[in-house]
Structure 1
């Protein structure tokens, strides 16, 4: 997802005691670890979302079978076809993606904080967006494999192109052999745009959503529930702006390619957007919207919780060592 933890780090940075600060390298490790832990819990939502977003590809509404109709029924269908472990398809690739993407994001954002760039007007938004875009670029091959693995299932439940990968390493090797180095970054433009837009939306809404909850005095001001409520409210805006780009990224990442590595279904981001709107209607750009929202809130909070706890442990160990 997205830039949730970088956002929360940005909101909390002024309040962090100097004694609790950690180095950019440590933030890289802790941030990547926290998001990987969160991924274990939210990956099933990614699997369902991917299937929903691929369903009906290049077919007019009402002319294709719909094995996936909603969250509960989709979970049941996947579990029946692939077993309960099928809900964790692509987990290894997802962990690799979270580690690479968030490691880069945290490191770059921490460097920006260290250099004082985030103290400048608009610096937080720019630093978060740039760090997110760089992270998305580095993690793109892992996201590509994750999407293709999550789409794989039995013929009766198949949606989108079926790549028949056997493992993460096998998928990377196959793509490298058939499409070359650039093939591993196919669709990266859509992914970078998705993360950048999502980062900007979350940075613009999280602080105000959290302040609004605090003003209502429904919860204790220092309660973790305030962060939870702010994250869930902010996630509405993030899901709304990110989902169309998420759908496009899923389609671009999963499409088959010819011998020259060119997509056989879409020529690029704009072509994919146009074909989806023409053949499935504009609302098709919001396939998986509910799941995107359900994932963003929990992933934000879980990432934040794990990051905060790991950071406390690291700061305590650093203090004891000195």
Structure 2
């Protein structure tokens, strides 16, 4: 049975971590949009790497610009991960993802992660859409991708709703659901596996901070490798301009059309733009969110006289 507390605790933990990881999300978005549908050497490189991007954005737009899109980012983390973690934890609490010894069953864990990820991404998609628009907005001298020019989160929400309707708020959601499904399956599965593996060593017991950090570092490698191509496609679909009459995207017809065009114009490496920024972001975000979530759950269940362990993790 679904416990609403699991949804709330997971969402709060992810939102807290999102505050600290959002600057890397801004950098990742800019890099993913840089050179959109252009081959190497055919566009101006404003951001050479993650650290150069931080310097350029901070110098040109000010340090506060590194927190662009923070409001929808917080809403997205709370809604998407609250639902995702809540669904996954409820499935995990039911025991269907574990054997008689309490160890994770690989196939069932992957399926549970995929289902919970897809549901969470669908719920949070409008926030991710607006977050992408706001994070992509930049000074004209370093702008990349289409510039939507929203004044704020609320203004963007109202504008999209009035011009594109409810469906406009969920534009690109299929790509986002695929992105989170892949990332969720990879992370929830590998994190659980690594926690169980490291639990065999006395100094890396499952309830220790060292176990959490070690598992997060290794699982993040798998997540970035598998999720980044879908992440790039998702960012491009969310940020593309929309025809005001037909209400259709002007660059891409959908996820597969976007992937085809990226491959044709930017090559295979185009799918891994922003990959390093993603890994640098996912590591700390995972560790922070897991720590917040674990401590929130410990506090809540200790107050209520219960004891529950957390074997899952928050991503994206």
Task: Give me the TM-score of the superposition, normalised by structure 2.
Answer: 0.89
- Residue of 287, 290, 313 corresponding to 2:276: 290
SS at match of 1:118: coil
Q: Number of paired residues?
A: 298
Is 1:262 paired with 2:248? yes
Residue pair 2:232, 2:271 contacting (<8 A) in 1 also: yes
Residue pair 2:198, 2:204 contacting (<8 A) in 1 also: no
1:61-119 deviation digits (Å, cap 9, x = unpaired): 10111111111110011111221111100000100101111121233224324544334
Task: Give me the TM-score of the superposition, normalised by structure 1.
Answer: 0.87
- Residue of 159, 164, 167 corresponding to 1:174: 159
Residue pair 2:113, 2:189 contacting (<8 A) in 1 also: no
Counterpart in the other structure of 1:18: none
Counterpart in the other structure of 2:6: 27
Greater helix content: 1
Cα shift at 1:28 = 1.2
Report the Cα distance in structure 2 between the residues aligned to 1:33 and 1:265, rounded to whole angstroms.
Answer: 36
Report the Cα distance in structure 1 between the residues aligned to 2:298 and 2:197, rounded to whole angstroms.
Answer: 28
Alignment of 1:79-118 (within 5 A): 79-118=58-97
After superposing the two structures, state which structure 1 stretch, 206-215 or 92-101, moved more.
206-215
SS at match of 2:40: coil
- Residue of 141, 144, 164 corresponding to 1:156: 141
List alignment gaps of at least 5 residues for structure 2. Answer: 100-104, 307-316
Report the Cα distance in structure 2 between the residues aligned to 1:227 and 1:310, rounded to whole angstroms.
Answer: 15
Report the Cα distance in structure 1 between the residues aligned to 2:41 and 2:202, rounded to whole angstroms.
Answer: 45
Structure 2 CA distance for partners of 1:108 and 1:211, relative to 1, 3 Å? closer
Report the Cα distance in structure 2 between the residues aligned to 1:211 and 1:119, rounded to whole angstroms.
Answer: 12
- Residue of 180, 185, 193 corresponding to 1:200: 185
Structure 2 CA distance for partners of 1:178 and 1:86, relative to 1, 3 Å? same
- Residue of 52, 60, 63 corresponding to 2:42: 63
Report the Cα distance in structure 2 between the residues aligned to 1:70 and 1:136, rounded to whole angstroms.
Answer: 28
Structure 2 CA distance for partners of 1:315 and 1:247, relative to 1, 3 Å? same
Report the Cα distance in structure 2 between the residues aligned to 1:272 and 1:116, rounded to whole angstroms.
Answer: 39
With CA pairs under 8 Å and 6+ residues apart, which has the higher RCO, 1 or 2? 1
Is 1:319 paired with 2:298? no
Counterpart in the other structure of 1:308: 294
Cα shift at 1:214 = 5.5
Q: CA RMSD in A?
A: 2.0
Counterpart in the other structure of 1:224: 209
